[in-house]
Chain A
Amino acid sequence: MKRLWALTLAVILSAGLAVGCSATQTVRNASASFDKAKAAGAETKAPYDYYAAEAYLGLAEHELDEGDNTGARLFAEKSERNSAEALKKAGGGAK
C-alpha cells in the first residue's frame, strides 16, 4: 500500500517537474532564436517581428519568474515564431 502511494506521488512529482522543465527549455529556445534574429540585423530589416519577439520573450521570462509555466510556454512559443519570421525576413535563415 505504502509502495503504491509512493509511486503515485513520484508520478505526480515527475509530471510537475516535466512541465516546469519544458517551460524553461521553451523560453531558452525562444531566447536563442531571438539572439539569432538580432544578430541577423532583424531590428532594422524586420522591425515588427523583431520587436514582437522581444516583447513576448520578456513576457515569457516574466511568467517563468512568476511560476506560471503555461503562460511562459505560451509567450515563449509566440516569441519563437516572431523570431523565426524576423530571421527569415532579415535573410539570416538557414542557407
Chain B
Amino acid sequence: MRNRNFLLVSLLILAVAFAAGCAKRQMTKSEVDRAAAIKTKIARAGKMGANDCAPRELAAAYAALDHAIHESGEREYNPAEVEEFLAEADKAADALLMKTIPCWAAKAPKPIAMPAAAPKATLTATPETIAKGTCSKLSWSTTDATGASIDKGIGNVGSRGYRKVCPPETITYSITATGAGGTATSSAMVTVITPGAMMLENIHFDFDKSFIREDAKPILVKVVAHMKKTPGAKLQIEGHCDERGTSEYNMALGQRRANATKKYLVNLGVDGSRLSTITYGEEKPADPGHNKAAWAKNRRAVFILR
C-alpha cells in the first residue's frame, strides 16, 4: 500500500513536470511588437494583391513569421536565435513588399484620359446689311480652340475679337476654329446694298414659328417708312428656315414667314400689291454652320427692294 502511494505521488510529480515542460514560454513585449510589425507589412502586401503578385514571397513571409513566433515560445529559448528568426521574417516581409509594390502600381487603374472638348466658334456681322462703301463689324469668339482663322483674306485671328470689314458686295465670312477636339466653323453674311437703296435689315423667327417677334417690329416699322417715302418701290419678301426638318416642310414654313411679314406690313399701311413673297426654305442659309447660332441666323425674312 505504501508502495502504491509512493508510485502515485511519483506519477503526479512526473505529470506536473511534463506539463510544465510543455507549457509555452511567453514572448517578450519587444518580440510581440516586432512580430506585429512584420505581420502589418505582410498584411499590407496582401491588400496590394501579393497573393497574385508575389505568391512565393507571401508564403515565405508567413512561414518565416510563424517560425519565429514558434521559436520564441519554445522552452529552450535562445534570445539570439529568436532575434535571428525575427530578422529573417522581417527580411522576408520586406522582400515581399519589394516585389508586390511595383506589381500593384502596374495593375492600379490608370486615370482615364478625358476626350478633348470640341471647339466652338461664333461669328457675327453687325450690321448684317450695309450700304455700299460703308462698313460692318465682324465679331467672333472661340472656345476650346488652339487656333482660329477667318477666310476672305482675313487670316489667323485670336480666340475672340472684332474687325471692321467694308466689302464692296455681299459676302459671307467664315471662321474655322481648330482644337484638340476637332474643328468648328461659323459664318456671317454681310449684305451690301447699292447706293440709293434703303438698307433693310432682316428679321428673325423662333424655331418652327412664323409669328412676328417683338425685336422684328421696329425693323418692320422702318421698312414701312421707306415704302411710304418711295411710292414706286416694290419689295420682295424672302422666307428662310434653318436646316432642321424636311425640305418640303421648310419650304412651307418659309412661305408662312414671308406671308406673316407681308401681312404685318399691309396692316401698317403698305399696299399689298407692292409686296411679293417667295420661299427658299432651307436652301439659302445665311450661315452654313450646324449649330444653334447658325440656325438662329437662318430663320429669317429678307427684304429685296426692286
Contacts and interface: CB of A to CB of B under 8 A. Distances in A.
Interface residues of A, number: 23
A4 B3 contact: yes
Given A47-B56, A52-B59, A68-B74, A59 B3 contact: no
Contact of A48 (B7, B58, B74): B58
Interface in B49-80: 51, 55-56, 58-60, 62-64, 66-67, 70, 74
Nearest to A1: B3
Is the contact region of chain B dominated by helix, strand, or loop, or is it mixed? helix
A4 B7 contact: yes
Interface size class of B (residues with CB under 8 A): 20 to 34
Interface string B126-148: 00000000000000000000000
Contact of B11 (A8, A50, A52, A70): A8
A75 B58 CA distance: 16
B225 interface: no
A12 interface: yes
Interface string B1-17: 00110010011001000
Interface string A14-45: 00000000000000000000000000000000
Interface string B266-303: 00000000000000000000000000000000000000
Contacts of B10: 8
A8 B10 CA distance: 9
Given A8-B10, A68-B74, A47 B63 contact: no
A interface, over-half SS: helix
The CB with the most chain B CB atoms within 10 A, among A4, A48, A50, A82, is that of: A48
A63 to B, nearest CB: 8
Given A48-B51, A51-B59, A54-B59, A78 B14 contact: no
B74 A51 contact: no
Interface in B1-55: 3-4, 7, 10-11, 14, 22, 51, 55
A20 to B, nearest CB: 14
Contact of A74 (B3, B59, B64, B70): B70
Nearest to A5: B7
9 contacts: A1-B3, A5-B7, A8-B7, A12-B14, A51-B58, A51-B59, A56-B63, A68-B74, A75-B63
Complex A-B, nearest 4 residue pairs according to Cβ-Cβ distance, in ascending order? A55-B63, A51-B59, A47-B55, A52-B59
Interface of B: 3-4, 7, 10-11, 14, 22, 51, 55-56, 58-60, 62-64, 66-67, 70, 74
Interface of A: 1, 4-5, 8, 12, 47-48, 50-52, 54-56, 58-59, 63, 68, 70-71, 74-75, 78, 82
